[in-house]
Chains A and B, each alone.
Chain A
């Protein structure tokens, strides 16, 4: 199975559970407007209260295995995201989001798998939750990237760039695919999505030497194997040397843009994209 599916299927299942949990949570239903939310998106976390020794043993595990990438305080380190601002963490009640990621890794993003038993995982979850709660209960300016940090752009310039030099409007429309994008994502998450939508799907058509062309979502491609998932969800794969194929990867246009942007272009574009609520 392709890694993407390995990770996303259990996650999708978890998200459903979380959504149900929130339906019963009065705190999540009416978040107090004055308090900052985690990563400025989503509901305030509803975390269990954990025994201090459980948090401490989770902290120990975290320092050994996670802190290098995610920071000692889970607030971001080398290459790993700030977990205290993570929506995945804030919507996690007892490890249902965190557990699958720890156990399966996010190999394509450089996160390895960790073989942790249930008690170890529970302590790790307790530590991460407690760090998020701690970070959120801070007053004043928090370290890390806030939505308010990303408001230095000029909306009109951004709109001009979107429709002109940025060539964004070639593929995207503010009333089409991008309608509501700033409701779905905010702050850093929105900016990351704007610059490179990691989860964008590519399409592929494969023509075997004998047989008809099959099209679907590109599921895997290296220099030896190509695979797709067809409209019925069935996985097909071939040796690259046995077939002709054509990949349609519109996301590559984002890669082409990287060496064209100025920092001001990005900030202006961000100002514009944030209006697409």
Chain B
């Protein structure tokens, strides 16, 4: 049986073999799938729209996690490590590294198809995965093209340029599908460029709207930058998308861009139909340390100091943890989650006040955290039962330099990390207090965080160990040395009644599950 036949038979759409209709691959991904992802799927970057990275699955428990066994591994044989969150739709996993997309069969890890992008000269620093809508995949190439591909075979439906890579932009993100919109953006802080979020028509690649993060190039005394290079989150009830924007440019030299530099280093709420800004909150006013505020804006509904709230939480690269009311962007809580030395305090609106004495200088300034930040783009997780926001942090110190000879374009300075260490940090969102820490080793862990309703936290340390921890206290319950540096977050789903935890490290995907005998003893399966 050929691969296509296998796909169609599993999807129960054998008729599609004689029909050219492109939309008949399984159910594909509908708007309903994205709003309420079935347990046997992980249909978008975050697993769902909220960005909580919390699964309702409970087959793997703190008691039996020690028995996890490898179901299969898939080797990309590429030197670029896997930074993608794979998506799972209709029993097929789709994931990427720069210039490559794979469709593999989730039961066995066997290859279905492999797409290779044309060679291009843009930065190949990472690719965070594809999005899916109906029967098409959406992929951003390193040189910032958005491609629509037929999920059945990886054939390109269309290819549009999202940003001009010859001017210095590049792309890494997994697009966000909201209704009939493919939301995309790009990176590019090596040049003074305008950041944006763009909505593209999933059918034909046409631009529907574009929101610009910063004023047009050449505006006097104004900033550039604000590249919104990570996948946002979405609240279907408020019909708002939440997006983090990147740092201003020139990066380390703030003298030519006085003021707050809106909307760089900001969390913005946009209307997905029009791209209109509804509100904005700025974690780093007038940033001079490259601290993008693109870390996942995690959406949580729950109690805050005795009142039900629709909240947005972000552990930001600049070292601050923010809880906002996501209906209006007002601050509920601002705290730090590790060493921070660059502020004079927090203003009445919950924004850190940058200390001018800690801007980069010709003779150097000692800054905490370092440029990589107290955390970076890897996903944190919110566990509703314990009320913990769990983030892979990197307490760190660095030297920041900038002098006139460094100019006013692009980087415009230099910075050197002196030391950093990885610490998984569990923050009580109601107080900002740290309830527990789990040391991950010197350096910086590249692993994201996943929690499950059974009370497990999955992550990885700086040595390449996959870890399963008890969410209540951070104690290690299971580990396995992956043999390389972990650069992604775990995902979990149910397949044929078995809960799978899918992790990657280096160029290899690992699928873990319990031995069959253990599953029978486990509690009844929950539904998402």
A-to-B contact residues, CB < 8 Å: 60, 63-65, 67-68, 71-72, 76-79, 81-82, 107-110, 112-115, 140-145, 149-152, 188, 191-192, 195-196, 198, 222-224, 254-255, 258-259, 261, 263, 266-267
For chains A and B in complex, what number of residue pairs have CB atoms within 8 angstroms? 115
Known: A68-B123, A110-B444, A258-B339. A81 touches B416 (CB 8 A): yes
Residues of chain A with a CB closer than 8 A to B290's CB: 78
Residues of chain A with a CB closer than 8 A to B372's CB: 79, 110
Instruction: State the Cβ distance, B480 to closest chain A Cβ, in Å.
Output: 10
User: A266 to B479, Cβ gap below 8 A?
Assistant: no
- Check if B383 is an interface residue, CB within 8 A of chain A: no
How far, in angstroms, from A255 to B361 measured CA to CA in the complex? 23
- Check if B443 is an interface residue, CB within 8 A of chain A: yes
> B interface, how many residues as a size bin?
35 or more
Most-contacted residue by chain A among B124, B368, B371 (CB, 10 A): B124
User: B125 to A68, Cβ gap below 8 A?
Assistant: yes
User: A149 to B125, Cβ gap below 8 A?
Assistant: no
User: B414 to A195, Cβ gap below 8 A?
Assistant: no
Instruction: State the Cβ distance, A249 to closest chain B Cβ, in Å.
Output: 10
User: B363 to A149, Cβ gap below 8 A?
Assistant: yes
User: A79 to B364, Cβ gap below 8 A?
Assistant: no
Residues of chain B with a CB closer than 8 A to A79's CB: 371-372, 417
| Partner pick for A60 among B121, B357, B443, CB 8 A cutoff | B121
Known: A76-B414, A78-B371, A81-B416. A143 touches B405 (CB 8 A): yes
Residues of chain B with a CB closer than 8 A to A151's CB: 363
How far, in angstroms, from A167 to B403 measured CA to CA in the complex? 31
Residues of chain B with a CB closer than 8 A to A72's CB: 190
User: B397 to A149, Cβ gap below 8 A?
Assistant: no
| Partner pick for A255 among B364, B399, B406, B419, CB 8 A cutoff | B419
Closest A residue, CB atoms, query B78 = A115
Residues of chain A with a CB closer than 8 A to B365's CB: 263
Residues of chain B with a CB closer than 8 A to A76's CB: 411, 414
Q: Which of B404-431 touch A at CB < 8 Å?
A: 404-407, 411, 414, 416-419
Residues of chain A with a CB closer than 8 A to B81's CB: 112
How far, in angstroms, from A145 to B364 measured CA to CA in the complex? 9
User: A224 to B406, Cβ gap below 8 A?
Assistant: no
User: B403 to A149, Cβ gap below 8 A?
Assistant: yes
- Check if B442 is an interface residue, CB within 8 A of chain A: yes
How far, in angstroms, from A112 to B485 measured CA to CA in the complex? 8
User: A192 to B416, Cβ gap below 8 A?
Assistant: yes
Instruction: In the A-B complex, list the 6 residue pairs whose CB atoms are closest, starting with the nearest.
Output: A141-B405, A115-B79, A152-B363, A258-B397, A68-B125, A196-B418
User: B419 to A254, Cβ gap below 8 A?
Assistant: yes
User: B364 to A259, Cβ gap below 8 A?
Assistant: no
Instruction: State the Cβ distance, A199 to closest chain B Cβ, in Å.
Output: 13
User: A143 to B124, Cβ gap below 8 A?
Assistant: no
- Check if B356 is an interface residue, CB within 8 A of chain A: no
- Check if B236 is an interface residue, CB within 8 A of chain A: no
B458-488 CB mask vs A (1 if < 8 Å, else 0) is 0001110100000000001001000001000
How far, in angstroms, from A141 to B122 measured CA to CA in the complex? 30
User: B399 to A64, Cβ gap below 8 A?
Assistant: no
Residues of chain B with a CB closer than 8 A to A71's CB: 190, 411
User: B418 to A192, Cβ gap below 8 A?
Assistant: yes
User: A144 to B406, Cβ gap below 8 A?
Assistant: yes
User: B485 to A266, Cβ gap below 8 A?
Assistant: no
How far, in angstroms, from A146 to B476 measured CA to CA in the complex? 46
How far, in angstroms, from A192 to B399 measured CA to CA in the complex? 9
Instruction: State the Cβ distance, A147 to closest chain B Cβ, in Å.
Output: 11
- Check if B133 is an interface residue, CB within 8 A of chain A: no
User: B416 to A188, Cβ gap below 8 A?
Assistant: yes
